[in-house]
Amino acid sequence: MSTSASASILVVDDEPDLRTLYELTLLREGHAVTTAANLEQAREGLAQQRFDVLITDMQLPDGLGLTLLREVADGQRTEKCIVITAFGSAENAVESLKAGAFDYLTKPVDLRQLRGAVTSALRGQRAPLAAVPANEPTRSAPPPPSGVRALARLVGQAPSIVQIKARIEKVATSMAPVLILGESGTGKELVARAVHECSHRASGPFIAVNCGAIPENLIEAEFFGARKGAYTGASADREGYFQAAHGGTLFLDEIGDLPLAMQAKLLRVIQERRVRSLGAVQEDAVDVRLVSATHRDLPALVQAGQFRQDLYYRLNVIGLRTPALRDRPEDLPLLAQALLERLCAEAGQAVPELSSAALAWLQARELPGNVRELENLLQRALALANGPVLHAADFGETGDTEPATLPDPLPDPLAASEPYRFVPLSPPEADSGESLPSDLQRYLDDQERQVLLKALQECGFNRTAAAARLGLNLRQIRYRIQRLGIVVPGAPGHGDSDAAD
Ligand SMILES: Nc1ncnc2c1ncn2[C@@H]1O[C@H](COP(=O)(O)OP(=O)(O)OP(=O)(O)O)[C@@H](O)[C@H]1O
């Protein structure tokens, strides 16, 4: 494997000035550079030697750079390809990534980005490729250990799961954005993590963002960071998700919930790969691989004018679909066992046996909340069970046919003995005789939590209704539920889930 200090690079561009500029930039980095002015010369170069990286302009006098890419893929060659596309030509960029390009750069090429793309390509360089479809990025070396572990966390032997795991491995190696579609609770976040862990970015950060949970007025600062004083309350410089994910993967969950104004800003960052923090003068280059997910019908949102088509196009270079649990019923026993083992390990308790009646009871449920719902049912049964075996009765099975899909209300974090009991708004710290709380933020959080719990309880845990009662919108209440760690029945640990609305 070549190191970035002495890589061999083929540069293909018909404009002599640009060719020289790229060549000098890369020579200065210590690379060996060969140049070509058209497809024909490039083919001659490729016939003579193997390169680590191939950088090609899209428009060449005798054809498209894309053709070269396809020839490299068809010939099972190992060159990592970087394509230079015209500014604003999203189609070409997307086409290139689909044809197996490692990355693309937009004209006018920023030389820092050129160097960065080459460094990334060299980091991801691997052994000769096995025969794989030419239209998909490829991998032949096994994923790193963290990737193997992440794939193992995706439990299932159904063909749809085996297939998605194989695709994750293949697509992980490129920079191409990945869009994961699937119902709630089908493991989209697990898939996103596996993409990251199987990539050469595995040692970098994985930042997961729930786009639907951030109040609209904070969203820009959250994504791009803010300088001290950029807005009221910005008392120090803070980095955004993009800066935090530099060198790694940014997972944009519930991308369909991103407000339109923010969609335009996100598109710009994706195209230019630079972000400007709120209040900053300068833009910073960011090296981030994007993985997005949604349970919503994104093409329908595009049709309805609620999601930008150009952004959809950019995000959906590689599509993955997580199967609903009802479409892979054969995996339920395996999943139930794996989830039980994980839940018990987390709780530090011995793993009980799942009785065959309990398993049959689970198999008879519809489980519209998919694996998450299965997990919730198991968690509840573990809490109710007594002894080394989980019986159907531990799942709330009463003998009649009605499935108990909603767990009992969960304990009020403020009043553990009584589920969701509303605690009157008495200042917790003032009770003890002190006139002022010693921790104002905690005191206010406790009060807010009580108000939210009361509203949720009175609205049957429907967050949309509870939000309306409090003069909030759904996005705001979700954000608060998540921030305060409130657990909504039907979505333990996932206060932002849609299951309860
Ligand atoms: N194939 C699987 N194997 C093991 N656990 C799984 C699998 N799929 C999902 N889970 C578990 O189910 C829960 C929900 O998964 P995850 O959060 O990844 O789903 P999601 O599709 O992102 O849901 P949402 O759309 O609601 O955000 C998690 O605890 C996850 O570990």
- Please indicate whether residue 281 or residue 86 has the higher confidence score (pLDDT): 281
Same domain? For 170 and 265 the reply is yes
pLDDT for 14: 93
pLDDT for 455: 87
Ligand 1 pocket check for 375: Cβ under 6 Å: yes
How many C-beta atoms surround the C-beta of residue 98 within 10 A? Answer: 16
Same domain? For 283 and 168 the reply is yes
Ligand 1 geometric centre to CA of 323 (Å): 11
Cα–Cα distance measured from residue 84 to residue 79, given in angstroms and rounded to the nearest whole number: 16
Ligand 1 pocket check for 31: Cβ under 6 Å: no
Q: Whose CA is nearest to atom 12 of ligand 1?
A: 372
- Range of weakest confidence among 109-118, 157-166, 195-204, 293-302: 109-118
Ligand 1 geometric centre to CA of 162 (Å): 16
Ligand 1 geometric centre to CA of 328 (Å): 14
Same domain? For 308 and 401 the reply is no
Residue type, 454: K
Q: Whose CA is nearest to atom 8 of ligand 1?
A: 187
Ranked by mean pLDDT, which of 18-22, 153-157, 397-401 comes out on top? 153-157
Ligand 1 geometric centre to CA of 321 (Å): 13
Ligand 1 geometric centre to CA of 195 (Å): 15
Ligand 1 pocket check for 252: Cβ under 6 Å: no
User: Is the pLDDT assigned to residue 176 strictly greater than 90?
Assistant: no
Tokens of 16: 């002599």
User: Is the pLDDT assigned to residue 491 strictly greater than 60?
Assistant: no
Same domain? For 186 and 289 the reply is yes
Asked if 103 and 82 count as a contact pair (C-beta separation under 8 A), the reply is: yes
User: Is the pLDDT assigned to residue 190 strictly greater than 80?
Assistant: yes
Ligand 1 geometric centre to CA of 188 (Å): 6
Asked if 58 and 35 count as a contact pair (C-beta separation under 8 A), the reply is: no
pLDDT for 453: 84
Q: What is the pLDDT of residues 134-144, one digit of tens each?
A: 344 455 567 77
Cα–Cα distance measured from residue 134 to residue 98, given in angstroms and rounded to the nearest whole number: 9
Asked if 226 and 279 count as a contact pair (C-beta separation under 8 A), the reply is: yes
> Which residue range is the domain that position 352 belongs to?
327-405
Q: Whose CA is nearest to atom 28 of ligand 1?
A: 372
Q: Whose CA is nearest to atom 25 of ligand 1?
A: 184
Ligand 1 pocket check for 185: Cβ under 6 Å: yes
User: Is the pLDDT assigned to residue 484 strictly greater than 80?
Assistant: no
Cα–Cα distance measured from residue 392 to residue 414, given in angstroms and rounded to the nearest whole number: 31
Q: What is the pLDDT of residues 287-343, one digit of tens each?
A: 899 999 999 999 999 999 999 988 998 888 888 999 999 999 999 999 999 999 999
Same domain? For 397 and 435 the reply is no
Tokens of 411: 């304990």
* 128 Cβ neighbours under 8 A, 6+ residues apart: 76, 78, 140
Ligand 1 pocket check for 187: Cβ under 6 Å: yes
Tell how strand 284-285 and strand 289-294 pair up. Answer: unpaired
Concatenated DSSP letters of 74-92: HTT--PEEEEEE-TT-HHH
Asked if the structure places residue 40 within a domain, the reply is yes
Ligand 1 pocket check for 210: Cβ under 6 Å: no
Q: What is the mean pLDDT of residues 271-299?
A: 90
pLDDT for 435: 66
Asked if the structure places residue 129 within a domain, the reply is no
Same domain? For 263 and 155 the reply is yes
Ligand 1 pocket check for 379: Cβ under 6 Å: no
CATH number at residue 343: 1.10.8.60
pLDDT for 501: 52
- Range of weakest confidence among 114-123, 191-200, 403-412: 403-412
Same domain? For 305 and 367 the reply is no
Ranked by mean pLDDT, which of 65-74, 311-320, 378-387 comes out on top? 65-74
Asked if the structure places residue 438 within a domain, the reply is yes
Q: What is the mean pLDDT of residues 388-409?
A: 60
Same domain? For 155 and 33 the reply is no
Ligand 1 pocket check for 497: Cβ under 6 Å: yes
Asked if the structure places residue 138 within a domain, the reply is no
Residue closest to 378 by CA, chosen among 357, 359, 399, 401 = 359
Global confidence as pTM: 0.66
Same domain? For 17 and 68 the reply is yes
Ligand 1 pocket check for 245: Cβ under 6 Å: no
pLDDT category at 240 given cuts 50, 70, 90 is: very high
Asked if the structure places residue 134 within a domain, the reply is no
Angle at 478 between CA 472 and CA 479, to 5 degrees: 95
Count of domains for the chain:
4
Q: Whose CA is nearest to atom 16 of ligand 1?
A: 187
Residue type, 456: L
CATH number at residue 103: 3.40.50.2300
- CA separation, residue 329 to residues 168, 174, 190, 336, 367 (Å): 22, 33, 19, 11, 11
Ligand 1 geometric centre to CA of 124 (Å): 28
CATH number at residue 435: 1.10.10
Domain boundary among 380, 405, 430: 405
Domain boundary among 323, 348, 374: 323
Asked if 484 and 452 count as a contact pair (C-beta separation under 8 A), the reply is: yes
Asked if the structure places residue 79 within a domain, the reply is yes
Same domain? For 174 and 291 the reply is yes
Asked if the structure places residue 19 within a domain, the reply is yes
Ligand 1 pocket check for 100: Cβ under 6 Å: no
Asked if the structure places residue 135 within a domain, the reply is no
Domain boundary among 390, 405, 420: 405
Chain-wide mean pLDDT for the chain? 81
Same domain? For 169 and 309 the reply is yes
Residue type, 104: Y
Same domain? For 277 and 375 the reply is no
User: Is the pLDDT assigned to residue 223 strictly greater than 90?
Assistant: yes
Q: Which of 183, 211, 371 has most ligand 1 atoms within 8 Å of CB, for mutation?
A: 371
Interface confidence (ipTM) of the complex? 0.98
Q: Which of 181, 195, 372 has most ligand 1 atoms within 8 Å of CB, for mutation?
A: 372
Tokens of 327: 């479409």
Which atom of ligand 1 sits closest to the CA of residue 375?
12
pLDDT for 418: 28
CATH number at residue 160: 3.40.50.300
Q: 435-450 in b/e burial notation, b at 16+ Cβ within 10 A?
A: eebeeeeebeebbebb
Ligand 1 pocket check for 332: Cβ under 6 Å: no
Tokens of 220: 């820009």
